[in-house]
Structure 1
């Protein structure tokens, strides 16, 4: 009989898991409490995280696509939220996943009974329980809104809310709004508030690096991380981490200054924490509002001065603030997990998981049949980094890859926590690493091996030099080999090779070539448009 698998949550990661588990021969079923797929990419006004009307994805289409499902040609270089949601809808239908999804099924909890996973869910007010051999839980990385306790907030006579509860932006017409926190969410809110609010202040405690979506030569910024650069990054991060931090920060700061040469000192964006642990803000959408003065970065909040004034840590007093909105992010959590299997026994800390996916449970049967998706992130753009986790989980469940003994899993976790403490200790800023952040070399090498992608065996400095596969590939098609290694790092490269486990995608080579051609075509079009604009300005 086929092995049965339940996937809880039909956001992007749950969808990818459903498709890959189905492809690998499992009898799989998905559970989604809402009535659509794609998770936060469909704007909603319920109590769940979702995009705003004008959200734009921070990674380019060239790096963001699922490895065997390219974006349609008409999609922007940086997809809009509406384009992203349609993309996941199309993915669902292209692989005939919809009949396997139970919509309107709100999973409450799960438990281990008689060697099976009992998944308990509520539908139309009635509780149901179904049983499965394997269970993958995909709640997303950002679940519980984080709301700092501002001194004196109880005296504030305006409106206070978290960004998750952001209503129709017309609600703020004519208001002075204070955003607490400065990153992607703050940018989205500024764009939404611009047609309505009078003024927006953005309170922040640390500096921030601003980057543009495009480099000076017309490429999307994330094209800089070719496979060759990735392997250099892995080598330096593993053996000379401080050297890599300096190289990366220097490069990012240079890009920031070229893109935005007139950043004002009073914004207090510099100095900023290292970009290796505190990601830069892709600031194309917000920067015009910073320049115009509509949105103004200010110091952190010290306390609320009743009824509507805000005292900042630099002594400045903001008067007549009508609304405070927390743009302070979210804590990772798995709400449906019972205490025995909860990966976050300490809230807002790194999860108690091996590779941020497998439980550190005393029962081997639990370790080999339960997985948490979306709880591990590395410095690699797009959805592929999460797809690789799904590859690895599927290979383990198929018996093609194997988990180490519990003691080794525990040792890995202790080493991971020590690395996190070291990174935080080296920082001069009051920063907190994302709970899901993992060390790049350790994680991506394991994912490549466990997931059976063959990328390291064919390209890396470490395995490739001594690999007969790499030499054969190079001899048979040198031009394509160089394109893979030094051209655009297409997501399809992770589907290129047959390593005897997971099946490769027959369209991978064609897609890699097409991705490179399209990226170059759009780069040339962009440069011509810029040149035309500059010439028009000169003619005036």
Structure 2
């Protein structure tokens, strides 16, 4: 009989897990407390996190698709929340996953009993317990809202809420609203508030690198990273990390200044934390509101001094503030995880996991049967990075790959924490809630090998597989190396473990052609199409 697997959470990551584990022969069951798939990408007004009506994905469709399930042609270059939710609904039905999902099933606990995972959940008002050989926890990264303490808050007579509880934006008609925190959530809220609020202030303590969705060449910003650039990055990050960090920051700052040359000094966006600790903001939606003055970045809050009065850390006083909204993100926490298996024994610390996936538990049977998704990424656009983790987990659970010794896993975590602390130290910014990615050279190599993608061995100058590939199909090889990093590329090769996708080559070619078509359409709209043709 096939091994049984429970996947808790059927957002994008849980859906991909269900599909791939099913494909690899596991008897898999999904548990979802909501009544739909896709998690946050369906707007809702309950106590759970969701997108707003105008949320747009930060990565482009050209880099974001699930490798063997391309976006329909009518999806925008940067998919809207509605388009993404439909995409995940269609993905669920295309791969016949819905019968395997228990909707309205709220998992309350899991524990190890007699060599199995006992999953306790409430469904239709009744408590149930089911048993599985393997358990995958996929809650995503946004679980428990973070609300900072404000000095003098008892004096404030307006409303204070977290973005999680953001209601119908018409509620704020004619109000002065103060947002706390400046990144993607704040941008979404400014867009929602624009037709209704009188003024929005954005209090922030650190600077910010703002980037545009498109470059001067009409391509989406994430198309600049082709496979050749990835190999250069891997080399520099491995052997000359300081050089790479300096170069990468300079490139992003240059792109930011070209896209937004009129960034005002009083916004205090510079200096900004380096991209090694804080990702840039794709700011196309919020920037027009900054320029118009409707939304104004201001210093961090010092204290509340009156019923509607806020003093900032630079001494400025904001008057007539009606509402304060925390756009301050979420704590890294999994509320239903027992202490023994809790990946976050220290709140907001890096997870106590090997590769941010596997528990550092002394029992080998636990390490080889429990996995967490969404607890740390690499600086790589789209959903591919998470599917790579799912493939790696599946290969290990099938016995086609294996985890290292417990001592090796512990040493990896120790080294990872030391590296994180050094990155934060060098950033010279407030580090309390800074996000630090996993090291790309180390983690991508591990994922490539364990998941069995064959990407690094088929494109490295020092691999016989790469030279053979180049000799047999030079045109396609060069397209892969210097063209778009199509998500389908990760399903191109069969390395004897995870199966290749038969349609991968065709999809890679189609993705590049479609990206070129969209580029020309954009250049035409910008009046630059003739200039582009001359350059070619």
**TM-score when scaled to structure 1?**
0.97
Task: Please state whether the residue corresponding to 1:417 is helix, strand or coil.
Answer: helix
Partner residue in 1 for 2:124: 124
- Contact persistence 2:54–2:80 (CA under 8 A): yes
Q: Using the alignment, how far apart are the partners of 1:243 and 1:533 within structure 2?
A: 36
Q: Deviations over 1:253-298 (max 9, x none)?
A: 1111111111111111111111222111100000110000000000
Cα distance in structure 2, aligned partners of 1:389 and 1:152: 45
Q: Contact 2:523/2:529 (CA < 8 Å) preserved in 1?
A: no
Using the alignment, how far apart are the partners of 1:31 and 1:494 within structure 2? 28
Contact 2:223/2:485 (<8 A) preserved:
yes
Q: What are the Cα deviations for residues 357-376 of structure 1, in whole angstroms up to 9, with x where unaligned?
A: 00000110000000001112
- Alpha-carbon shift at residue 466 of structure 1 (Å): 3.0
Report the Cα distance in structure 1 between the residues aligned to 2:276 and 2:484, rounded to whole angstroms. 21
Counterpart in 2 of 1:263? 263
Aligned to 1:521: 517
Q: Is the 8 A contact 2:395 2:497 kept in 1?
A: yes
One of 460, 465, 471 as aligned partner of 1:469: 465
The Cα shift of 1:300 comes to 0.6
SS in 1 for 2:346: coil
Mapped to 2, the partners of 1:268 and 1:122 lie a distance apart of: 48
In 2, are the aligned partners of 1:248 and 1:276 still within 8 Å (CA)?
no
Q: How much does 1:432 deviate?
A: 4.0
| Shift of residue 180, structure 1, vs aligned partner | 0.3
Q: Indicate the SS of the match to 2:527.
A: helix
Shift of 1:533: 12
Inter-CA distance 432–523: structure 2 relative to 1 (3 Å threshold): farther
Asked if residue 173 in structure 1 is aligned to residue 169 in structure 2, the reply is no
Matched-pair contact (CA < 8 Å) for 1:179–1:325: yes
Q: Give deviations 1:117-156, integer Å, cap 9, x for gaps.
A: 0010001110000000000000111111111111111211
Query: What's 2:294 paired with?
Result: 294
Deviation at 1:434, TM superposition (A): 4.9
Instruction: Report if aligned partners of 1:141, 1:436 keep a CA contact under 8 Å in 2.
Output: no
1:381 to partner: Cα distance: 0.4
CA distance in 2, matches of 1:443, 1:514: 29
**Corresponding residue of 2:240:** 240
CA distance in 2, matches of 1:356, 1:276: 18
Match of 1:347, SS state, is: coil
Between the aligned partners of 2:402 and 2:172, the Cα distance in structure 1 is: 54
Q: Give me the whole-angstrom Cα distance separating, in 2, the residues matched to 1:344 and 1:128.
A: 26
Deviation at 1:251, TM superposition (A): 0.6
Shift of 1:377: 0.7
Cα RMSD (Å): 1.3
Aligned to 2:380: 380
* Contact 1:351 1:435 (C-alpha < 8 Å) held by counterparts: no
Is this contact kept in 2: 1:377–1:385, CA < 8 A?
yes
Determine the structure 2 residue equivalent to 1:351: 351
Cα offsets for 1:426-464 (capped at 9, x unmatched): 1121134656731111111100000000001101xxxx2
Number of equivalences: 531
Measured against aligned partners, the alpha-carbon deviations of 1:438-497 in whole angstroms (never above 9, x if no partner) come to: 1111111100000000001101xxxx2332211111101001001111100111110000
DSSP-derived class of the 1:70 partner: coil
Residue 398 of structure 1 deviates from its aligned partner by 0.2
What is the alpha-carbon distance in structure 2 between the residues aligned to residue 401 and residue 486 of structure 1?
31
1:403 is matched with: 403
TM-score scaled by structure 2? 0.98
Report the Cα distance in structure 2 between the residues aligned to 1:155 and 1:237, rounded to whole angstroms: 50
Name the structure 2 match of 1:538.
none
Aligned to 2:534: none
- 2: CA distance between counterparts of 1:434 and 1:70? 33
CA distance in 2, matches of 1:411, 1:532: 53
Partner of 1:70: 70
SS in 1 for 2:73: coil
Is the contact between residue 354 and residue 410 of structure 1 (CA under 8 Å) also seen in structure 2?
yes
Matches within 5 A, 1:60-139: 60-139=60-139
Task: Indicate if the aligned counterparts of 1:64 and 1:383 stay in contact, CA closer than 8 A.
Answer: yes
Contact 1:4 1:133 in 2 (8 A): yes
Q: 1:332: Cα distance to partner? A: 1.5
Match in the other structure for 2:206: 206
* TM superposition shift of 1:169: 0.2
1:491 aligns with 2:493: no
Task: State which of 485, 504, 512 in structure 1 corresponds to 2:508.
Answer: 512
Deviations 1:34-58 (A, max 9, x none): 1000000000111111100000000
**Which structure 2 residue ranges, 5 or more long, are not aligned?**
532-536
| Mapped contact 1:424–1:432 kept (Cα < 8 A) | no
Equivalents in 2 of 1:259, 1:376: separation in Å? Answer: 29
Q: Contact conserved, 2:276 with 2:423, CA < 8 A, in 1?
A: no
Name the CA distance, whole Å, in 1 between partners of 2:410 and 2:78.
40
Q: Give the direction of change, closer, same or farther, for the CA distance of 1:9–1:292 in structure 2 (3 Å limit).
A: same
Q: Deviations over 1:62-89 (max 9, x none)?
A: 0000011000000000000000000000
What is residue 194 of structure 1 aligned with on the other side? 194
Match of 2:429 in 1: 429
Match of 1:454 in 2: 454
- Structure 1 residues 532 and 254: CA distance shift in structure 2, 3 A: closer
> Using the alignment, how far apart are the partners of 1:372 and 1:530 within structure 2?
45
Task: Find the aligned partners of 2:79 and 2:431 in 1 and give their Cα distance.
Answer: 30
Partners of 2:435 and 2:294 lie apart in 1 by 33
Measured in 2, the distance between the counterparts of 1:452 and 1:147 equals 41
User: Map of 1:280-319 to 2, 5 A cutoff?
Assistant: 280-319=280-319
Report what 2:159 is aligned to.
Answer: 159
Partner residue, 1:360: 360
The 1-side partners of 2:214 and 2:370 are apart by 41
- Within 2, Cα distance between the matches of 1:196 and 1:168? 10
